[in-house]
Amino acid sequence: MSRIILAVGVFVNLVVLAHYKYAYFLLSSANNILEPAFGIRFAGQQVPLPVGISFFTFHAISYIVDIYRKEAAPLKNPLDMGVYISLFPQLVAGPIIRYHDIARQIAERTNTLDRFCSGVERFSFGLGKKVLIANILGNVADQIFAAPENSLSAPMAWLGIACYTLQIYFDFSGYSDMAIGLARMFGFELTENFNYPYIARSIREFWRRWHLSLSTWFRDYLYIPLGGNRASPVHVKVNLFIVFLLCGLWHGASWNFVLWGAFHGMLLVFERGRFGALLDRLPGIVGSAYAILMVMVGWVLFRAADLPQAIAYVGAMLGLGSGSGFSPQVLAAVDARVIWTLVAGVILATPVATVLCRDWATRIYPSHAAEPFPPYVRTIGNLGRKGSTIAISSFISIGTVVLCISQLATSTYNPFIYFRF
């Protein structure tokens, strides 16, 4: 009986998600095939997408499965259930909550001034990532991706995808930091979502560092039920490909997202074989170059409006474009601020700044240990919240917020990339 309840619960949640997010996409795809071939066309219209529908669904499925597996006790109070399903700090862009990770916190949690201050600090640095890095680089990326395909040159295409690569990381990780910080102010401790993904030496490692809450959700609730690593080698590869195909579809009802997921799935399948073994034996810098190159090519599929644009853009990256140099619009947009932001983004996408801050802070408080997932400079405030440490941390947090307010006051460009997923 419990399996029937589990199956019905998961099925109902998936049907609701499919209706709102994928019905029109599937109908349009069917019409594109049937109308030219048979003259058949189905009527339909786009359904407004409820805010946070993907996260509502994943939270509900996690709750049902975790109760079935006896990994956590069911909630008795409807208000507690409402808190879990619609926890507002992370509702629109994550991190994705697995029920067993937060069940105890819903029933029992405490808050302190120190924890609240830590949340404010985390929120401020997430806001800084978004406003001071992602927005500035995103403006350049948008201009290049909006340029006519015949105007793209190799340098221009590479600049555009480099800016977008940093934009999507600082945009999404910045929002995750803001969500974690805001939740911490209310006494909740959410799971970390990023661990410097761009220093990965393989696509396997990339997915152990990028959007951790999504990859662990798919691992626990899809990959393992399909057989996981316990199946035959061929079955394991099929499982990986299916998981990432669905991962791409989860991001949006578009063939670009499906192909992006299939692209990563194929890379992971290749890395499960001899290619992965060879990659592990190569120098680390070779693996890092391979990983970031594949990630950037994948981001073209993620960012392009459609498949023809993605193909033309990758062609321009390979030197097959018909443009030369940079267009006047791009040259006007790439000022000193953009160049310095690009340099800062590259540095802050690695652990360099965190390591330097940790070393400096441990000289002051050698008895304190660093956190395993510290965000960029917040380590200073986390290694001992007293004296000069808390003063410096507060100064940096306040300074970051002031800079963000100044930037927001002079700019109307503030999109959150992951809000639409």
DSSP 5-71: HHHHHHHHHHHHHIIIIIHHHHHHHHHHHHHHHH-------PPPPPTTHHHHHHHHHHHHHHHHTTS
State whether 273 and 132 are in the same domain: yes
Q: What is the pLDDT of residue 331?
A: 86
Least confident of 92-96, 334-338, 375-379: 375-379
> Does residue 268 share a domain with residue 196?
yes
Nearest Cα to Cα of residue 358 among 343, 368, 348: 368
Residue 384 maps to a domain: no
Residues of the chain above pLDDT 90, percent: 33
Q: Is the pLDDT at 365 greater than 70, yes or no? A: no
pLDDT of residue 378: 42
pLDDT of 361 > 60? The answer is: no
Looking from the CA of 274 toward its CB, the CA atoms found within 13 Å total: 0
Q: Let me know whether 139 and 70 are in one domain.
A: no
Q: What is the mean pLDDT of residues 193-214?
A: 93
Its domain, for residue 231, covers: 115-345
pTM greater than the 0.75 cutoff: yes
In this predicted structure, what is the pLDDT of residue 383?
43
250 in any annotated domain: yes
Q: Is the pLDDT of residue 157 over 60?
A: yes
Mean pLDDT value of segment 249-263: 89
- pLDDT of res. 114: 81
Q: Say if residue 413's pLDDT is above 80.
A: no
Are both 149 and 296 inside the same structural domain?
Answer: yes
Span 282-292, average pLDDT: 93
User: 144 and 16 in one domain?
Assistant: no
In a shared domain, residues 81 and 135: no
d(CA 6, CA 75): 16
Token code pair at residue 355: 């390591």
Residue with tokens 């940079």: 326
Give residue-wise pLDDT tens across range 236-250: 889 999 999 999 988
- Looking at residue 3, what is its pLDDT? 87
Asked, for residue 388, whether it belongs to a domain, the answer is no
Statement to judge: residues 239 and 275 lie in one domain: yes
Which of the four pLDDT bands, split at 50, 70 and 90, describes residue 385? very low
- 220 token code pair: 């626990």
Cβ(210)–Cβ(197) below 8 Å = yes
As a whole number of angstroms, the distance between CA 323 and CA 321 comes to 6
Whether residue 135 is found in the same domain as residue 173: yes
Q: Which residue bears the tokens 């259930």?
A: 81
Query: What letter represents residue 207's amino acid?
Result: W
Number of domains in the chain: 2
Residue 368, pLDDT > 50, answer no
Same domain, 188 and 90: no
pLDDT, position 388: 53
Q: Would residue 251 show up in a list of annotated catalytic residues for this protein?
A: yes
Question: Within a domain: residue 362?
Answer: no
Of 313, 345, 377, the residue that ends a domain is 345
Tokens standing for residue 230: 């316990």
Predicted confidence (pLDDT) at residue 394 exceeds the cutoff of 90: no
Catalytic residue among 59, 211, 251, 264: 251
pLDDT above 80: residue 329: yes
Cα 266 to Cα 203: distance, rounded to the nearest angstrom = 10
Within a domain: residue 171?
yes
CA–CA gap between residue 11 and residue 13 (Å, rounded): 5
